[in-house]
Structure 1
Amino acid sequence: MKQVHRTGKASKSEPEDVISSMPDNVITNILDRLPLEAAVRTDILSRNWRYRWTMLTQLIFDKRFFEYLQGRVGYWCFDVKNISRLLLHVKGPITKFDLYIPNNVVLDVEDINHWVLFLSKKGIKEFSIINMHEIPLTLPTHIFSLLELKHLKLQNCYFHPAPDDCGFPNILSLHLQRVTFGSGGCWKLISRCHLVEILIIRYPEPIEKVKLAEIATLKNLKALFFPLCYLDNIVITCSDIFELGGFLPKLEELHLDFRCCKFRRETGTRKWVSTAFPTLKNLIIYSIDFGSGSMLSCAFEMIWGSPNLKFLMIGAAYKKSVELPAFCLSEIDYHTMEQLQLQIVNSHILEVQKMKYI
């Protein structure tokens, strides 16, 4: 029998490995969209995919990641060294780093210090730490070395006093929830974020008061989430809030928390300010006490002073049925009301009769 020699060439009918032959940037895009553990497990797909996960640009250690670790083995298993190993294996830039810290995971501050220092050399753009422990996590001073940072989200953390020349010069969004600062440096830091467009501040109780003039430095703000009890004014008037609108010419979304605030209704005849918030499209007001005529009046003035408003949501401070305060309907400029462009109104806890003024 004549011996047949194989040429070693693949048969024309053999399917081409299209996935492995994709450009690196496409593969990286796919890996970044997968959960972290799934991206790392692509290592077993084929020889061509071995260590492809080192091309990741986003490292997301979120709540779902820790739930996966616990569910996979049936008991809690986590080695903090795994994060350090992953960081060291990633070849290129790391643009996003999210860290969720469950209350049953203890992290050494020195480890976080090393990670932040490492990320500062990797072009990090988005950084997030969600700390679920009761005790705030003390952030390392190296966090101020993240000069390319554009998005920062922190929960239950503590900042050491920032040096006068430190800040985040390129930050676009800043989300602070239960974040405390040494020596009252909160607004000292925020005022140096001149490019910030989204500012979210959520605290359980007032820690540091702020002057309107300090908020006025943030000329690029498009979205503001702010508890009014943080203003240094003991009693708030409509003029204070309208002044805030005048400081922020690009503001499109405003979330105001009226909780723990004292309002005073201004005396005397005053013209309605029809363009207090000329660019505002979304207005969300929390914790309105419908037993307070001055607070309710201020909310209405904000609505009528936003001619381009599209979405409105109002949340009551409590669910109890209360008597409506005396509200002079003759004060309402119905011509202005007819010009409002409201498309969606979410009353959120309000009874229908309380919306009759609108």
Structure 2
Amino acid sequence: MAPSRRRARSSEPAADLLTSLPPPLLDSILTRLGLRDAVRTSALSRAWRRRWVDLPCVLLRYPGNISNFSIHSLDKHSVRRVDDWLIALCNRGVRSIDLQAPGLAIHSSVFLCTSLVCLELHLCSIPPLPVEFTGFPVLKQLKLMVVKFPPNGEIQLEAIINASPLLDTLTLSYVDTRSEALPGWVIGGGQSPEPNYRFQ
């Protein structure tokens, strides 16, 4: 009986020690590797399978442009990566950002992505415009849904729209400008003969 018990124990899968490491430690290890070696860690265990994808260094080390960037769900580990991703996108020629970040205050670098053609922000807090903001020269579509601006955000929203000369589609749904009294808005963005502006 004793030998069979020993055999049963030995056939049990060994505990995956890697999964017991805290996520910040896993990330710290990965950031010390080259990109190729970081990708290879996917074979180590489930905890490592796609962890390299979340690292900001992936965007920073990628040599080419990134046309589209989209996030529709964030786990607790990815939430702290969003600022790094947005900063990394600034110089990557990104043309489309679609970000759904419930309750998250996003980084102001999103307003420095001057190659944007489409910007969609959902369920997040909008930061104040950075002093370096010069506008969105090629932005055609702006969609803001269930977002919160800083106090007197209507001024900032007007500044964004007026600094987007090619804007032809504007969707505002449940936008909180944190202002008690809204002045009369003058929306001057867009050179399209028939701009598509929707408010809710």
Task: Indicate how the Cα distance of structure 1 residues 191 and 164 shifts in structure 2: closer, same or farther if over 3 A, else same.
Answer: farther
The 1-side partners of 2:168 and 2:115 are apart by 16
Contact 1:150 1:172 in 2 (8 A): yes
Contact 2:111 2:130 in 1 (8 A): no
Contact 1:96 1:126 in 2 (8 A): yes
The 2-side partners of 1:151 and 1:199 are apart by 10
Question: After superposition, what is the alpha-carbon deviation per residue over 1:17-51, rounded to whole angstroms, capped at 9, x for unaligned?
Answer: xxxxxxxxxxxxxxxxxxxxxxxxxxxxxxxxxx9
Contact 1:187 1:210 in 2 (8 A): no
Task: Indicate how the Cα distance of structure 1 residues 210 and 199 shifts in structure 2: closer, same or farther if over 3 A, else same.
Answer: farther
Which residue of 113, 123, 146 corresponds with 1:146? 113
Task: Indicate how the Cα distance of structure 1 residues 83 and 187 shifts in structure 2: closer, same or farther if over 3 A, else same.
Answer: same
1:120 paired residue number = 90
The structure number with the bigger radius of gyration is 1
The 2-side partners of 1:211 and 1:164 are apart by 24
Task: Indicate how the Cα distance of structure 1 residues 210 and 225 shifts in structure 2: closer, same or farther if over 3 A, else same.
Answer: farther
- Does the residue aligned with 2:66 lie in a helix, a strand or coil? coil
Contact 1:180 1:186 in 2 (8 A): no
Task: Indicate how the Cα distance of structure 1 residues 219 and 169 shifts in structure 2: closer, same or farther if over 3 A, else same.
Answer: closer
2:149 paired residue number = 181
- Answering whether residue 156 of structure 2 is matched by residue 156 of structure 1, we say no
Contact 2:118 2:140 in 1 (8 A): yes
Report the CA distance between 1:188 and its aligned residue.
Answer: 3.0
Report the CA distance between 1:179 and its aligned residue.
Answer: 1.3
More helix by share: 2
The 1-side partners of 2:113 and 2:99 are apart by 14
The 2-side partners of 1:95 and 1:129 are apart by 14
The 1-side partners of 2:47 and 2:171 are apart by 33
Counterpart amino acid of 1:223?
N
Which residue of 157, 161, 167 corresponds with 1:190? 161
Contact 1:169 1:194 in 2 (8 A): yes
Task: Indicate how the Cα distance of structure 1 residues 214 and 150 shifts in structure 2: closer, same or farther if over 3 A, else same.
Answer: same
Report the CA distance between 1:214 and its aligned residue.
Answer: 1.2
Task: Indicate how the Cα distance of structure 1 residues 182 and 204 shifts in structure 2: closer, same or farther if over 3 A, else same.
Answer: closer
1:99 paired residue number = 71
- The structure, 1 or 2, with the larger RCO (C-alpha pairs under 8 Å, 6+ apart) is 2
2:170 paired residue number = 199
Question: After superposition, what is the alpha-carbon deviation per residue over 1:57-104, rounded to whole angstroms, capped at 9, x for unaligned?
Answer: xxxxxxxxxxxxxxxxxx9998664232543564421111111224x4
The 2-side partners of 1:114 and 1:163 are apart by 16
Q: 1:161-240 residue pairs with structure 2 within 5 A?
A: 161-163=128-130, 166=133, 167-183=135-151, 184=153, 185-203=156-174, 207=178, 213-215=185-187, 217-221=188-192, 222-227=195-200
Structure 1 unaligned spans of 5+? 1-50, 52-74, 228-358
The 2-side partners of 1:181 and 1:218 are apart by 19
Question: After superposition, what is the alpha-carbon deviation per residue over 1:179-217, rounded to whole angstroms, capped at 9, x for unaligned?
Answer: 1111212223222222211101111777556555512x1
What is the total number of aligned residue pairs between the two structures? 149
- Answering whether residue 55 of structure 2 is matched by residue 87 of structure 1, we say no
- Does the residue aligned with 1:214 lie in a helix, a strand or coil? coil
Task: Indicate how the Cα distance of structure 1 residues 206 and 122 shifts in structure 2: closer, same or farther if over 3 A, else same.
Answer: closer
- Does the residue aligned with 1:162 lie in a helix, a strand or coil? coil
Counterpart amino acid of 2:98?
S
Structure 2 unaligned spans of 5+? 1-35, 37-45
Q: How much is the aligned-residue C-alpha RMSD, in angstroms?
A: 3.2
- Does the residue aligned with 2:72 lie in a helix, a strand or coil? strand
- Identity rate of aligned residues, in percent? 20
Task: Indicate how the Cα distance of structure 1 residues 126 and 77 shifts in structure 2: closer, same or farther if over 3 A, else same.
Answer: same
Contact 2:67 2:96 in 1 (8 A): yes
